[in-house]
Structure 1
Amino acid sequence: MHGFLLATPDSVVRTTGVRAAYDDAGAAAADLRTGAAELIAGALPFDPRGRAALVAPERHTRTAGPWRPAALPALPPVRVLAQLPDPAEHLARVAKLVAQLGDPESPLRKVVAARSLLAVADAPLDPEVVAAHLVTRHPRAHVFAVDLTTAGRAGETLLGATPEVLVARHGDTVTLRPLAGTLPRLPDPDADAAQARELLASSKNREEHAYVVEWIRERLTSVCAELSIPGEPELLHTPEVWHLATHITGRLREPRPSALDLAVLLHPTPAICGTPTDLALETILDLEEDRGFYSGAVGWCDAGGDGEWAVAIRSAELAADGLTLRAFGGGGIVAASDPHTELVETTAKLRTFLGGLHCAVPE
């Protein structure tokens, strides 16, 4: 794949070709401001200091309405080869974090702990076909496929179906929908409804969610003349999990930052990193294997400053050979977290992507 695709329930943005490539978001944003670039599209890595995968494309299209693939070719069988780390190690990592977060002397309040699964396909996977299966299975998600060549990873592709909008800007209006606080869906309808009520009432999950909302409030206050944040989260569901969500809107003051500027301002949020952000980021980098572009941001921004960026969760990185991929799942850890419950949560989240490939996720 040599391009970019972001299919939302409301629109589809595609790009082809590369007029200019940027591994630095600041340089890309500067070219948008000067008019040197008509549109920037691509991905930001989890670690803001890492190399981005952004391009000013030769061609781009934006169409209204959802993407309805004309065909859905069969995918080759995909199977899990390894868990990174194995479940026992993930449990140990979460237990260590819970102890650290429970220490009254520790400034940490929340850390997002992730794990990944390494999988292999019997034949090369076509990113476009994978994305078509994902959008068919998750029509309300933001489905993406991004070439990572600009970040020094020639031929690799970031793929996913995320439920989380980092930030969207249209004119002077900015909208966000952060997610934090999760429980798996249950097959029995009554038990599933009870699970949703439990999530909404959970002090642990509401604490986790509040860190995200307050951090976003602090960040946006510097650029918004008006900001509307509901006092209570609402429930959002995917086929695999229940989430706590908050729909945030704001009116930007002049000079209005672009959608890319806003993405850089907000990423990484406590929803995928932790609180306080800098300390949580360093904790994750010390504790985990390299996340790459998992829980980074995927999106686009035009020369007028409008655009949309989604959080790159429920995602995987596909190797250049199309055969091997690494899928990720994570969860927010606070002092009240239970390690086993957190492991189950990551398993449910991993099913979002791997389920779209009809690949079984180990319990």
Structure 2
Amino acid sequence: MVEITAVENILHRKIQQQSALKERFLFTSQETSLLSDGCFKRITQPLLDSEGSQDAFQRTLREQFRLARAAGIKDPLVVGAIPFDSHQPTALFIPQHVTRTDRNQLMTQLKPYQQQPLAPITRQQAYPDKPHFMKMVSDAVAAMNRGEMDKVVLSRLLKLTTEDSIDSTTLMSLIMAQNPDNYHFHVPLANNEVLLGASPELLLRKQKDQFSSRPLAGSAKRQLDREDDHRVGQTLLASSKDRHEHQLVIDAMAKVLAPVAEQLQVPQVPELVTTSQLWHLATTVQGITHNAEENALVLAGLLHPTPALSGYPHQLACRLIQHLEPFPRELFGGMVGWCDDEGNGEWVVTIRCAQLNQQQVTLFAGAGIVPASDPLSEWQETGTKLSTMLKAFGLH
């Protein structure tokens, strides 16, 4: 029988293998850390149909869970990634086996890989380049000044070419060591590519009938000097521009969650949280769902993408993103995580991430644009966000 276990020596044996994470899904948080083995069934059906309903997807998921149990998989999970556009194919699968473990233990087991050098980078390409991105921001500000929307999130890519293929286990171990408090994810994709990263943002966690979310909107670069760093954080907390951007996200999420929640707690004032590179404004939203049988993906799908990744109003912002950004986001800016057959799960926003394809590494970063945004500042902010991944390569 295949079932979820928590056996330390099994984890140790897996991690000691060469390229230990190559075909494995990894996810860590303070609450749950998972490491998968094998693939029972891949699921590519979009989360939403043409009418914007999850019904067809949820029927497929229930059927695949039934087949997994019939095949001897006790307590099956679905894991993987869902794209920014929920109408596009998903990158999900049901593993044959899942090991639950402690995040610190997993990081310790991966530590030896930090000694292995990553292949040197031979080329970097910003896409779009700086002038193009700054014009995107200017065009978005002009649209908002015309009253077309309140906020839009614009993103850019950084494409790296390396001398040799990047070992995803080595890169993952470095990212985890440098960002120990983030949510970590490693997703093997069907085309032999890998999506990995260290997201700071919880989209949705559900345990029985209780759920929570912690959106981030508004950020500032951290400083080396402790006093300077503290001052930057306090300045962010007092910034009318960033507080406005943040409140747009919170109000929109509360509006979506209120109809499905028996209780909903939304703090009036955001808190400051930090990553290795940035200060963020964050608000922890908590609630109890009306229907405990609705799984974590149902609720996450209602929220995704939040205005922290698209803008507000959502449909208008998405149209502007499609018009201004010179690339499809695909899995970038989507969500990544897991959901079990009892409805519990945890999904985070796919940011501070990279997609690996042999000698090609693509990094993603975005910034929330509001009427007070400055194009150069937004370019610099996305650069700071890219540094989370670049640091693993020894770059800034």
SS in 2 for 1:136: helix
SS in 2 for 1:181: strand
- Which residue does 2:171 correspond to in 1? 130
Q: CA deviation at 1:30?
A: 2.7
Higher gyration radius (CA): 2
Unpaired runs of 5+ in structure 2?
A: 1-21, 48-53, 69-75
Give the structure-2-normalised TM-score.
Answer: 0.85
Which residue of the other structure, out of 1, 6, 29, is the alignment partner of 2:58? Answer: 29
Deviation per CA, 1:215-240: give whole Å up to 9, x if none.
11111112110011111000011111
Which residue of the other structure, out of 269, 282, 288, is the alignment partner of 1:245? Answer: 282
- Which residue does 2:340 correspond to in 1? 302
Q: What is the alpha-carbon distance in structure 2 between the residues aligned to residue 50 and residue 273 of structure 1?
A: 16
SS in 2 for 1:305: coil
SS in 1 for 2:25: strand
- Which residue does 2:367 correspond to in 1? 331
RMSD: 1.5
- 1:79 and 1:221, CA in 2 relative to 1: closer, same or farther beyond 3 A? farther
Aligned residue pairs, count: 352
Which residue of the other structure, out of 47, 54, 62, is the alignment partner of 2:100? Answer: 62
Q: What is the alpha-carbon distance in structure 1 between the residues aligned to residue 150 and residue 324 of structure 2?
A: 16
Q: What is the alpha-carbon distance in structure 2 between the residues aligned to residue 11 and residue 120 of structure 1?
A: 34
2:123 pairs with 1:74: no
Alignment of 1:209-358 (within 5 A): 209-288=246-325, 289-319=327-357, 321=358, 323-358=359-394
Q: What is the alpha-carbon distance in structure 1 between the residues aligned to residue 40 and residue 96 of structure 2?
A: 5
SS in 2 for 1:298: strand
Deviation per CA, 1:3-62: give whole Å up to 9, x if none.
311122343212222211111235553344454252100000111111110111111122
Give the structure-1-normalised TM-score.
Answer: 0.93
Q: CA deviation at 1:187?
A: 2.3
- Which residue does 2:39 correspond to in 1? 18
Unpaired runs of 5+ in structure 1?
A: none
Q: CA deviation at 1:254?
A: 2.0
AA at the equivalent of 1:333: I
Q: Note if contact 2:121-2:163 (Cα within 8 Å) is conserved in structure 1.
A: yes
With 259-268 and 186-195 compared, the bigger mean Cα shift is at 186-195
Q: CA deviation at 1:79?
A: 5.0
SS in 2 for 1:222: helix
Q: Note if contact 2:293-2:342 (Cα within 8 Å) is conserved in structure 1.
A: no
AA at the equivalent of 1:145: H
With 33-42 and 225-234 compared, the bigger mean Cα shift is at 33-42
Which residue of the other structure, out of 228, 234, 242, is the alignment partner of 1:205? Answer: 242
Q: Note if contact 2:201-2:215 (Cα within 8 Å) is conserved in structure 1.
A: yes
Q: What is the alpha-carbon distance in structure 2 between the residues aligned to residue 135 and residue 79 of structure 1?
A: 24
Q: What is the alpha-carbon distance in structure 1 between the residues aligned to residue 99 and residue 261 of structure 2?
A: 30
Counting aligned pairs with the same residue, the percent is: 36
Q: What is the alpha-carbon distance in structure 2 between the residues aligned to residue 315 and residue 70 of structure 1?
A: 20
2:226 pairs with 1:189: yes
SS in 1 for 2:171: helix
Deviation per CA, 1:58-112: give whole Å up to 9, x if none.
11122234332241223222355210011111111101111111113x2x11000
Q: Note if contact 1:223-1:257 (Cα within 8 Å) is conserved in structure 2.
A: no
